[in-house]
Amino acid sequence: MAPQTVLITGCSTGIGLATAAMLAKDSLRRFKVYATMRNLKSKTKLEEAAGHTLNKTLLIRELDVTKDPTIKSVVDEILRDNGRIDVLVNNAGYMGLDAIDQKSLEWCQDMMDTDFWGVVRATRAVLPAMKKQKSGRILMVSSIAGVRGAPFFATYSAAKFAMEGFSESIAPVLRDGYNIRVSIVEPGPVKTELATKVMDSSLEEQAKNFDPILKDLYMQGVKRMTSGMSALMQSADEIAKLHMDIILSENPHLRYQTSEPMVKQAERKLRDPTTDYILDRLQESYK
């Protein structure tokens, strides 16, 4: 039986790298992975992680989710060489702290272009083939910030909320009409270079031009959030293992929280239609 062809975006580090390496190293050789990244100058760590699978079950390609021609080029190659595309993992994205009105609209638009519109572009690119073959899996790497808005991550949360709304809307149509299954993955804190870079940046420097009220809320809220992150932190390999389980599942769920604490966070929001509970909890974090 031919291996499943898998396209993964955002594989230079973190969850994308871990997922690509794990699938490529599958002992049963069930996957042929096209691991992509925006800039091939960043491929060294993925090459090291791939080991003996490099250029065998793991192929590295350049793909920028904000540029349609690069997406089309990789999808066309997969179809030309394999005749089908079985799995898309929409992983490319980045996060950044912002304090409501402190970042430029251009900064916000750039994040949305990658974290949301990049997902739409990649999904649209694979759908014609998946519809024709009447099968496929699309994994959307979201965040618990796509379930409940995270203070000072307004644009990042907005992008993930948009991804979740898009995914929830297309999921029943693709399942019932074409046997294509969409699953949303909602991690909490994951130990990656991206997360470390964002959280290690100087809060004082970031907040130096904030008004006094905003600065006080920002410093208290972010410090409290980061202090509790270590106990919740997961490894990228844990998320990669979940991705493999979803791909291999005969009847995957629409949503997956990646740890018990994230399940509880989702439950807390969903149990109260007013979501006042969320505001009350956030108010406590500033005390």
Own/partner pairs, 278-286, CB within 8 angstroms, 24+ separation: 278/148, 278/149, 282/151, 282/221, 285/151, 285/220, 285/221, 285/224, 285/225, 286/217, 286/220, 286/221, 286/224
State pLDDT tens for residues 258-286.
Answer: 989 898 988 888 777 766 666 676 555 55
- What pLDDT, on a 0 to 100 scale, did the predictor assign at position 215? 87
CB 156 within 8 A of CB 96: yes
* Catalytic positions, written as ranges: 156
| Residues in contact with 250: Cβ distance below 8 Å, sequence separation at least 6, in sequence order | none
Query: In whole angstroms, what is the distance from residue 73 CA to residue 7 CA?
Result: 12
Question: In sequence order, which ranges of 83-116 are alpha helices (DSSP H)?
Answer: 105-115
- What pLDDT, on a 0 to 100 scale, did the predictor assign at position 206? 79
- What pLDDT, on a 0 to 100 scale, did the predictor assign at position 55? 98
283's enclosing H/E stretch is: helix 276-285
Query: In whole angstroms, what is the distance from residue 101 CA to residue 261 CA?
Result: 30
Query: In whole angstroms, what is the distance from residue 231 CA to residue 285 CA?
Result: 17
Query: In whole angstroms, what is the distance from residue 20 CA to residue 138 CA?
Result: 15
SS (H, E, C) 208-277: CCCCHHHHHHHHHHHHHHHHCHHHHCEEHHHHHHHHHHHHHCCCCCCEEECCHHHHHHHHHHHCCCCCHH
| Backbone angles phi and psi of 120, in degrees to 5 | -65, -45
CB 138 within 8 A of CB 124: no
- What pLDDT, on a 0 to 100 scale, did the predictor assign at position 198? 56
- What pLDDT, on a 0 to 100 scale, did the predictor assign at position 30? 97
Name the 3-class secondary structure at 8: strand
Residue ranges of the chain whose pLDDT lies below 50: none
CB 111 within 8 A of CB 159: yes
- Which of these, 23, 28, 71, lies nearest to 49 by C-alpha position? 23
- What pLDDT, on a 0 to 100 scale, did the predictor assign at position 222? 79
Model-wide pTM > 0.95: no
Query: Residue 207 has which token pair?
Result: 């907040």
